[in-house]
Amino acid sequence: MIIDRFVALATAHAPGQEVRQAAGDVGNLMRGGKLSGRPVDFSHGDVDAFLPTPGASDHFLEALAAGGRQAYTEYRGTADIRAGLSEALATFTGAPVSADDGTIVTPGTQGALFLAVASLVSPGDQVAIVQPDYFANRKLVEFFGGRPVPVTMDYLCGSDEAGLNLAQLQAAFEAGARVFLFSNPNNPTGAVYSEREIVEIARLAAAFDVTIIADQLYARLLYPNEAYAHIRAAGLPAERIITIMGPSKTESLSGYRLGIAFGAPAVIERMEKLQAIVSLRAAGYNQAVLRTWFREPAGWLEERILKHQAIRNDLLGVLRDGGLATREPQAGSYLFPTLLPLAVELADFVRLLRHQAGVTVTPGTEFGPYPNSIRLNFSQDHTEAVAAGQRIVEMARRYRR
């Protein structure tokens, strides 16, 4: 059983792990020659293309100089940093955040997700998860012995809504699911849940006594004229929701491995106890970088959003012109195109794309039953991202069934 659980984690397609994949017999499948162009890794954001928040390194060095006073913080994070963050997060999400018993700093948002799922899911528990959604959601639920209950999202519905099947969500709750785990904006599609969808999710959760884990990592990277509704401001009791955010993506602070979870005090306490034996705390010196979060120079965030929007628009145009159905992301930096019908398996196409075209992507099968889709993180150099998108289209045409 323990062997099966670790086999199911399957990290071969996790960002940074692709370099360990062998080419295998990909040469036997190859059609045509290699495509020229600078290699682009769409499996994660390029932190060289977008530099970290101004002042981040200064705060890190100040923490380093402080030594033990900053290195050995409370397990849930430095008290004054949590206080500042709680005020900013309350303003941003529209509901109070307790710095003392409702906030924890974690080693990345991935750390927060691990702790939250571990604190709420026991063997046999049913957990409602969205398809498609972040690949770790299903894997973590299964690792802790839970049973994922898929709720589909028609992300190509052509409306301003995310397309969540609310009838399926209600059915999952009626069948016994008492935890709902989802990302908003959605990873991998960039869809943002409408206010109507968020209000209905909150209503159903309240009616069935469900606890929600809301991954809002990309909530700040919201494109102009798009609306965002925070689930924690939709009338749910505070003890029924955990929100996860962090500065790793929009703010390009990935290397500092910082995440924040806030909400239900009882769950936060469990998360702290578990963190105390898993990692002790988020790296002490790194925590100081959080002093820049929500305190960026005037206009900095708006400029970063516009730069991402420009890449999104150009890359989206390339993919759609090539016949790849793709939703226009309302937020975040992900595209989830549907490929032309392939003459090879998706896993082989992904390898061919990397070895023949110099383009690394994440297969859609990581996010649910999507054997004809790939995920791209377009937070990249603008010119190179568009060029890589053109190579994806060319490869999709070459290997069309």
* pLDDT for position 180: 98
DSSP 363: E
Tell me the average pLDDT of the chain.
94
Tens of pLDDT, residue by residue over 245-288, are 999 989 999 899 999 999 999 999 999 999 999 999 999 999 99
**Six-digit token pair at 235?**
């009338």
| 113-153 tens-digit pLDDT | 999 999 999 999 999 999 999 999 999 999 999 999 999 99
Q: For residue 323, with 0-12 CB atoms within 10 Å meaning exposed, 13-18 middle and 19 or more buried, which class applies?
A: middle
Look up the pTM and report it.
0.94
Averaged over 227-231, what is the pLDDT? Answer: 97
Res. 386: pLDDT tops 80:
yes
Which residues are registered as beta bridge partners of 263?
A: 242
Question: How far is CA 396 from each of CA 76, 272, 329, 342, 366, rounded to the nearest angstrom?
Answer: 47, 46, 21, 7, 19
Per-residue CA distances from 262 to 24, 107, 112 (Å): 45, 14, 10
Q: What is the pLDDT of residue 163?
A: 97
Element (H, E) at 91: helix 79-93
Taking residues 10-31, report their average pLDDT: 73
Average pLDDT over residues 205-234: 97
- Dihedral angle of Cα 188, 222, 382, 135, to the nearest 10 degrees: -20
Task: Give the mean pLDDT of 11-29.
Answer: 72
* pLDDT confidence of residue 23: 61
Residue 344 confidence (pLDDT) above 70: yes
Least confident of 6-15, 170-179, 187-196, 314-323: 6-15
pLDDT of amino acid 21: 66
Per-residue pLDDT at 14: 73
- Distance CA(143)–CA(7), nearest Å, equals 10
The CA distance from 75 to 73, in Å, is 6
Q: Given this model, what pLDDT does residue 363 score?
A: 95
pLDDT tens per residue, range 148-186: 999 999 999 988 899 999 999 999 999 999 999 999 999
Model pLDDT, residue 53? 92
- pLDDT interval class at 9 (50, 70, 90): confident
Tell me how far apart the alpha carbons of residues 183 and 53 are, in angstroms, rounded to a whole number: 24
Query: From CA 71, how far away is CA 305, in angstroms rounded?
Result: 33
φ and ψ of 296, to 5 deg: -70, 155
Is the separation of the CB atoms in 267 and 237 below 8 Å? no
Write the DSSP string, 195-264.
HHHHHHHHHHHHHTT-EEEEE-TTTT-BPTT-----GGGTT--GGGEEEEE-SSSTT--GGG-EEEEEE-
pLDDT of amino acid 46: 85
Strands 211-215 and 103-107 turn out to be unpaired
Residue 13 confidence class, pLDDT cut points 50, 70, 90: confident
Tokens found for residue 42: 């769409």
Percent of the chain with pLDDT over 70: 98
User: Residue range 28-47: average pLDDT?
Assistant: 91
Looking at residue 27, what is its pLDDT? Answer: 77
Residue 20 is predicted with a pLDDT of: 66
Percent of the chain with pLDDT over 90: 87
User: Which of 117, 173, 121, 118 minimizes the C-alpha distance to 149?
Assistant: 173
Q: Which of 181, 85, 195 is nearest to 141 (CA)?
A: 181
Question: In this model, does residue 18 exceed pLDDT 70?
Answer: no
What tokens does 187 get?
């990873």
Helix intervals (H) in 98-153: 108-120, 135-143
Return left, alpha or beta for 252; rule: phi > 0 is left, psi -120 to 50 is alpha, else beta.
left
Output the pLDDT for position 8: 85
